[in-house]
Structure formats: structure tokens, C-alpha cells
Copies of this chain bind each other. A is one copy, B any other.
Amino acid sequence: MLFMVEMEVVVPHDVDRDHFEALKAEEKVRAQTLQKAGTWRHLWRVAGQYANVSIFDVQSVDDLHEILLGLPLFPFMKTKVTALCRHPSSIYDDDR
């Protein structure tokens, strides 16, 4: 079950930099673990912004929620979730 998630990271100018860098490092590990597991199916950077477009493949909406809320940078994110489904003109087996 696929969802597009758009994440924008907003960094307050007076954040503790060391703490934030530590969270970023954790975020990268988490993102790669989820990619290897096949859950975070696509991950692109939005050009010119501290933001990404992602495709998640999850068993349920609850799984999706648990994953997103658990991201180390979640407290600094604005998120937008869009439910996707198979397009009648798609020829790709993966895009479902």
C-alpha cells in the first residue's frame, strides 16, 4: 500500500546545533534501514529546499504513522501525506 509523503524540515535558528546534527545522523541511519527493508520505496530531494518527496510501502496506515512519528527529525518537520493507488495506464508492476 503506497503513500507519498512530502517532508519539509524547518530548523529554528537558535536550535542546539550538536543535538540537531546528532538527530540528522540518526535520521540517515533510520532512512537507510527502512529503504533496505523495502518500506521507504523512493526518496528524492526537492531541488533547492531542505525537503524531500518519498514513497512508502506499508501494511497499514498505522504502520505509516508509527514510522513517520518515529523519525528523529519529525519534531522539525511539516508533513503532507497522499494516498496513492494503481493508475489504469501504468505498466509497472512496482507502482502499486
Contact = CB atoms under 8 A, between A and B. Distances in A.
A contacts with B: majority SS: mixed
A21 to B, nearest CB: 13
B84 A44 contact: yes
B92 A65 contact: no
Given A13-B15, A14-B14, A95-B42, A65 B48 contact: yes
Nearest to A30: B89
A81 B48 CA distance: 7
B13 A81 contact: no
B35 A53 contact: no
B35 A81 contact: no
Interface of A: 1-5, 11-15, 27-28, 31-32, 35-36, 42-50, 52-53, 55, 60-62, 64-65, 68-69, 75-76, 79, 81-92, 95-96
10 contacts: A1-B61, A12-B14, A35-B90, A42-B55, A42-B95, A44-B87, A44-B95, A45-B87, A45-B88, A47-B68
